[in-house]
Structure 1
Amino acid sequence: MEKLQWSSFTKKIYIHAPIKKIYDLWATTEGITSWFLKSAEYKSAEGLIRKSDEYIQKGDTYIWCWHNWDGKEEGKVLEANGKDYLEITFETSKVSVQLKQKNNVTIVILTQYEIPVNEESKLRVHFGCSNGWTFWLTNLKAFLEHGILLNETEINLQENELAGYEFVNM
């Protein structure tokens, strides 16, 4: 077993869906807002907004907004091969998503790495994002395999100041 460390973590999940379908849900505005985000905007390196069904590409920038959270995440697409791998900047680190076919199912391998090793990042990025990605990968599986979303989109959870720490479906 590899040694666990504060500077990175990996989350894996098997999903009964084709690689292309899963890639589409990660690599297009239309896809990522169907199961993960309230809104997303991708701009090409030339500053042009990508169409909702257009694949992201290396050099793009993004702005992501979630349901039940006022903040936004801005970052850059570092890699996107159009079929089974993408990599972005996220928080103060990087995230890669790799898709592999294994025995008639797809394994999604998400790695967040280059996480700063300080007390704030240990809590907010390593612990917080690790918990968050666990939920979101489960949400993706539920969406693809059962046609349901587990995240809350109708009830305003932000009325509770500890909502982000207490609700598992934020």
Structure 2
Amino acid sequence: MEDNRWKQFKLCGDYNVDLRSLYMAWATPAGLEKWFLRKADFYTLPMRHRDGDEQIGKDDTYTWYWHGYDNNVTEKGVVLEANGKDLIKFTFTGKSVVTVAFSTRNGLTIIDLTQEDIPEETDPEKNLLVQCQIGWTFYLTNLKSVMEGGKDLRNKRVELMTCFK
């Protein structure tokens, strides 16, 4: 049996926010920019740029831009699934796949985020499982902060980025 411990992980978060609002925070460029990205560009199959409040769809391609980095540092990928209500799946760094599933339990909205097919790396500084798990933990926390209280925890000051590298 294959050992998948270093090829995938799952994170969960509970949110005192309605499911639809959380889904839209993941499913629109403007939603992603509120808590995750500096800029989120999505393109339909005929390469039409999606508007900020327009929902992403299956087979869309994306280019993401991060706070603290110039426009040469991007993440590019493809939306594998976006069902319009409770599931989004996309390719991510290192050809891994991220699945975000939304559900409700005990009056809360639950997000289950799974990242799979993570390539193995022996160098801990380059280890995508470790780095992505740390990153997603922060961003799921920031999503909770932004959606429940309005406070954005991201560092948007480029001049301070040397403190974090």
Q: TM-score, normalised by structure 1?
A: 0.88
Cα separation, 2, equivalents of 1:4 and 1:122: 20
Matches within 5 A, 1:22-33: 22-33=22-33
Q: Which amino acid aligns with 1:91?
A: T
Q: Percent identity?
A: 38
Q: In structure 2, what is the equivalent of residue 78 of structure 1?
A: 80
Partner in structure 2 of residue 139 of structure 1: 142
Counterpart-to-counterpart distance in 2, 1:156 and 1:124 = 26
**Runs of 5+ in structure 2 lacking a partner?**
none
Which residue number in structure 1 is paired with residue 39 of structure 2?
39
Q: Give the SS at the match of 1:47.
A: coil
Q: TM-score, normalised by structure 2?
A: 0.91
Q: What code does the residue aligned with 1:81 have?
A: N
Structure 1 unaligned residues grouped into runs of 5+: 165-170
Q: Distance in 2 between matches of 1:72 and 1:155?
A: 16
Alpha carbons 1:12, 1:107 under 8 Å: kept: yes
Out of 124, 133, 154, the residue aligned to residue 127 of structure 2 is 124
Distance 1:101 1:33 in 2: 24
Aligned to 1:24, what secondary structure does the other structure show? helix
What secondary structure does 2:127 align onto?
helix
Alpha-carbon RMSD: 1.7
Q: Which residue of structure 2 aligns with residue 87 of structure 1?
A: 89
Inter-partner Cα distance in structure 1 for 2:12 and 2:144:
11
**1:57 Cα offset (Å):** 0.4
CA distance in 1 between counterparts of 2:110 and 2:158 reads 32
For 2:37, the aligned partner's letter is L
Alignment-derived partner of residue 160 in structure 2: 157
Shift of 1:51: 1.1
Offset of residue 153 of structure 1: 1.4
Deviations 1:57-113 (A, max 9, x none): 000000001111231100000000001100000001111100110011011111110
The alpha-carbon deviation at position 157 of structure 1 amounts to 2.4
Contact 2:67 2:158 survives alignment (8 Å): no
CA shift for structure 1 position 4: 7.0
Counterpart Cα distance in 2 of 1:151 and 1:124:
22
Contact 1:13 1:137 in 2 (8 A): yes
Partner of residue 13, structure 1: 13
Separation in structure 1 between the aligned mates of residue 118 and residue 146 of structure 2, nearest angstrom: 29
- How far has the Cα of 1:123 moved from its partner? 3.9
Q: 1:58 and 2:58 equivalent?
A: yes
Q: What CA distance in whole angstroms lies between the structure 2 residues aligned with 1:18 and 1:122? A: 37
Deviation at 1:156, TM superposition (A): 2.5
Q: Does 1:104 align with 2:94?
A: no
* Residues in 2 aligned to 1:123 and 1:8: alpha-carbon distance in whole angstroms: 15
